[in-house]
Structure 1
Amino acid sequence: MSAPPQGSAPPIEVTDAHLIEQSWRHPERFGVLFDRYFDILHRYVHMRLGESAADDIAAETFLRAFRSRQRYDVSRPSARAWLYGIASNLVADHRRNEARRYRALARSAEPSDVASHDDGVVQRVSAAIMQPQLASGLARLSAGDRDVLMLVACAQLSYEEVADALGIPRGTVGSRLNRARKKLRKVIGPYEEAL
């Protein structure tokens, strides 16, 4: 492997906004955004709606983004929040299925009495015990509170990114997240009690 020539500058990462702008004349450039974000959007939708919906919704997210790329605000260098916003809107179309899935998870998983000294097993058992309570709590949240919670917890978006994604003020993000956390704590209870 040869070293880069002396005096050459390191490669400059092209921003999402620049790629979108390039795609106005060269549509194939939009594929770079697909490569950058498909996996994380797919994981987010999978966590919300399951595997069967994740493929379709992640693909539909990019199709809608591609079709509306002319309206993208190129003053925003990252398209991450924009794409999560599109995905969240598509998830909203599937809310009934999502709430049904959480209720089914809450009913289906029963805590098991498995004892082990291995930390990995303890973590899996703890997660299995918490799953029905968490699913029940998620099903009880309002759609807006659940969206904010899932974007922060699953997609790890900042408050500003969540506000951009959902088209709501930053303060609303904070209040919805706080409300969702309080409701989940009531359902789940202290961690120690779940064990």
Structure 2
Amino acid sequence: MATNASDLALRGHGFDFGASSFRDYDKHLHRYLAHRLGPQDAEDLAQEVYLRLLRMDGEKCVQKPLAYIYGIASHLVADYRTDSRRQRELLRDEKEENPEEGWETTDELAERLNLQQQLERALARLPRTQAMVLLAHKHRGLSYEEVAAELGLSIHTVEKYITQAKARIRTMTWER
């Protein structure tokens, strides 16, 4: 049975799963972690699982690799949740000690409202299609391709409209 270079490298670090490799378990591990923590944190914890596997005793041979990986992952998930809970408690305690923090002052609220009104006026001065393209891309976070498909435009036209809209907005007079 042939083994690939990654398998040989892993055996040298105490990870002897026979002819299997990380790739054989990667999809299972990511699905497991994403289900418990969400996709953002799954990648970080998967890396930690692999680091722990690489630190394994070189003499240890694992009979059920997937179960072993899930065991490591479940311990990491529990630790992660405990740490997250502690952080939330610390933040809650800090807010209770300083209740004014996190609240906008009247001046800050007025400034934000003024800025919002100015942005609305600036968008109203743009040609309708340019404003729609700019809002779809910047406010809704759509890619140029998604904006083009949604509005029935070419990608080149979307790029051109965004550039023109930004240029027009830069030349407008803004109140302080």
Q: TM-score, normalised by structure 1?
A: 0.34
Higher relative contact order (CA 8 A, sep 6+): 1
TM score, norm. by length of structure 2: 0.38
Q: Which has the larger radius of gyration?
A: 2
